[in-house]
A and B are shown apart, each in its own frame.
Chain A
Amino acid sequence: MAPDRHLTLLSEEEVEQIHAATLQVLEEVGLWLPNREVLEILEGAGAEVDFEKHVARYPADMVTAAIGRFPDGFTWYARNPDHTIRIDGSRTHFSMPDSALNVIGPDGKHRPGVPRDGEDICRLCDALPNMAVASTGINPPDMPGGLLEAWHTRTMFCSSSKAVFGVSREVDMVLEMARIVADTCDHLPEGVLPLVAIMNPFSPLYNEADQLAGMLKYARKGVPISISPEVQAGATGPATVAGALVQQTAEFLGHAVLVQCVQPGLGVIYGTVSSVFDMKKMILPYGAPEADILAVGTVQMARRYGIPARNTGGSSDANVLDMQAGAEAMMSTLIAILAGASFVLHGAGELENTMAVSYEKILLDDEIIDMSRRFARGLGVVDAETLAVDVIKQVGCGPPGQFLQQPHTFSHFRSEQFMPRLFVRDMYSNWEKAGRQTAEQRAAAEVERILATHRPEPLPDAAQKEIDAIYHAAEKAALNK
């Protein structure tokens, strides 16, 4: 979609109001960052730091200077060059949940996820055309920290050849696995790792020492960083959506400025996982329309800073695969694409307020992405050929005119039409004769087919062995704890 056609909700003036309020928050309140090294870096770059209280306040010109160093995009390398993607606002790249507890498997049963699920979910991702970034979907419930991060990273690299993200903990281990993979690739520029790091600041306006330390490590290795605050409007941020957007933008910029101090020009993504806090059920609903407003606001602010954005998309608070799940998934997916987000995590297949991933829904959301992309493409090129006056003239008015046999139809219909793979378009009687298959049932059959047949491109043997060795060491360490 042409950049000037992006969906916007904020006027240019409102974008500037949000920006001005953000600068004020950064200057007068600042961020609570309990990591001495981080505070020292920020002080060196002009922040006003209170080491005792762990608070850094950012003068406006310091923030403005850092914004000037943001690159407008970057390349997210995958080990398979065909799966390498550009993160620059030109296309919305999708992934799935990354840490659900439960799965709803092809048999429809709701149960705790096991490692095998993560490998299968990753293989689905590898097979599906609209999934661009690998993910295991789950945190297997009984897996201890340390092993968990090694498992995630190994699975993403081995059960898929698509782009991989770096988790926020055990960063040395992640960097080591990424280096092993990088050494097997000829298409990576010298010193570049096939990785983008995922970081979540805490609200209101803080972070923890370990995550900050990990962020420094990624930045020093030149790994681009996606920074996604998770404001719960009304609970860990203001109840007004505008106020939540201000706080979130301050949380993002506070971290992004730090990244620029460590590695000037490093790619950053302004992400959001924010929503309103549900004042009755006390959850953070990703299916809420306010989350979608924040998503659009995030993309607009990112564009103000000349950088790519991340949204959620496809996530639903429904506990089963029902109409609510479809409606919420469609809304956030379509909006992420229309607004022009570059990356979406949380995520195709997500249900149960981030706590579950459904195999079928991954496929159905993949189809929703197709539909949304088709919508976003709009009329496409408008010229004499597509305006079609010639063919309208040729067919003329009135019966027996029809277009089915026209060469114009023959040459355009495939590229003009969205062709459903799973959604049903059939007359009732035919559909009944064919076995009354719903979209969900068709998705389930497709899941089984893919899992039975799809084999991701393997890593070279030596690299696989090295990665396995790291994984087994983590397993041993976990056992000895």
Chain B
Amino acid sequence: MAVEDISRAVLAFNLAGVTELVQKEIDAGTDIDTILNEALIGAMDEVGKRFSDGELYVPEMLMAAQTMKAGLALLKPHLTGDSARAKGTVVIGTVKGDLHDIGKNLVAMMLEGAGFNVVDLGVDVAAETFVQAAGDNGAGVVALSALLTTTMPAMEGTIKALQEAGLTVKIMVGGAPVTSGFADRIGAQGFSADAPGAVELARKLMAAQGGSS
């Protein structure tokens, strides 16, 4: 089955193969959602599983994600409004004063790999910027990263600002010094200690938002 070939090509990090196979399926009139969900996102689920099992390492996972995205780019023009936004949008950034960005970047890359639309605001992001971007992009989830005890309070401030703006987004937080207790205390809806966990969490929070947003 050709859809399985696409998955296999993603798992083999074969970018040229994926684009070729995806184009073939589009031309053959295969259902676009099937290519998206079964071939591409299905393959990334398998990648995530192999990563958790310790078979794959980060650069391999990211290479698979890049391969998947090349296929996704070909599908984009054919996606109907619904499936284009099916997974929802995550707005992510490090909070005001914090410039540690590798953890945030990894979370963003993995969320993209899992099919979310990710708006990355970068580092040292002011609360108002989060509010603006969450509103403008119709975000379902806002993800805040902080690595310093001195910037963790800015997480609380950002959450307050999002609430005051009347946005119904779910908020998840993370970064080395952040704990689930801290997340609860500042009114975040979720915490994860690592990037794979962040993807799981985003799925849960997005579902609680009612799927698409």
Contacts and interface: CB of A to CB of B under 8 A. Distances in A.
Q: Chain B binding site: helix, strand, loop or mixed by DSSP? A: loop
A145 B150 contact: yes
Interface in B18-68: 54, 57-59
Given A101-B177, A279-B59, A355-B176, A141 B149 contact: yes
A239 B54 CA distance: 20
Interface in A267-283: 277, 279-280, 282
Contact of A144 (B59, B99, B153, B176): B153
Give the size category of B's interface with A: 10 to 19
A247 to B, nearest CB: 15
A101 B54 contact: no
Contact of B177 (A141, A144, A234): A141
A143 interface: yes
A235 interface: yes
B102 A235 contact: yes
Contacts, number: 41
Interface in A164-182: none
Contacts of B102: 232, 235-236, 277, 282
B59 A234 contact: yes
Contacts of A143: 149-150
B195 interface: yes
B108 to A, nearest CB: 13
A282 B177 contact: no
A148 B150 contact: yes
A473 B150 CA distance: 18
Interface in A244-292: 277, 279-280, 282
A144 B58 contact: no
Given A355-B176, A355-B177, A280 B57 contact: yes
Interface string B170-192: 00000011000000000000000
Contacts of B176: 355
Contacts of B84: none
Interface string B185-213: 00000000011000000000000000000
A236 B105 CA distance: 11
A202 interface: yes
Q: Most chain-B CB neighbours within 10 Å: which of A141, A143, A208, A234?
A: A141
A282 B103 contact: yes
Interface string B145-166: 0001110110000000000000
A147 B103 CA distance: 27
Nearest to A144: B150
Interface in A97-147: 101, 139-145
B149 A282 contact: no
Contacts of A282: 58, 102-103, 106, 194-195
Contacts of B194: 282
A145 B99 contact: no
Contacts of A144: 150, 153
A139 B149 contact: yes
B97 interface: yes
Contacts of B57: 279-280
A139 B58 contact: no
A276 to B, nearest CB: 12
A203 to B, nearest CB: 9
B60 to A, nearest CB: 8
Interface in B80-134: 97, 99, 102-103, 106
15 contacts: A139-B150, A141-B149, A143-B149, A144-B150, A145-B97, A145-B150, A239-B59, A279-B57, A279-B58, A280-B58, A282-B58, A282-B103, A282-B194, A355-B176, A355-B177
Given A239-B59, A279-B58, 19 more contacts: A139-B149, A139-B150, A141-B149, A141-B152, A141-B177, A142-B149, A143-B149, A144-B150, A145-B97, A148-B149, A236-B102, A279-B59, A280-B54, A280-B57, A280-B58, A282-B102, A282-B103, A282-B194, A355-B176
CB-based closest 5 A-B pairs: A279-B57, A145-B150, A279-B58, A141-B149, A139-B149
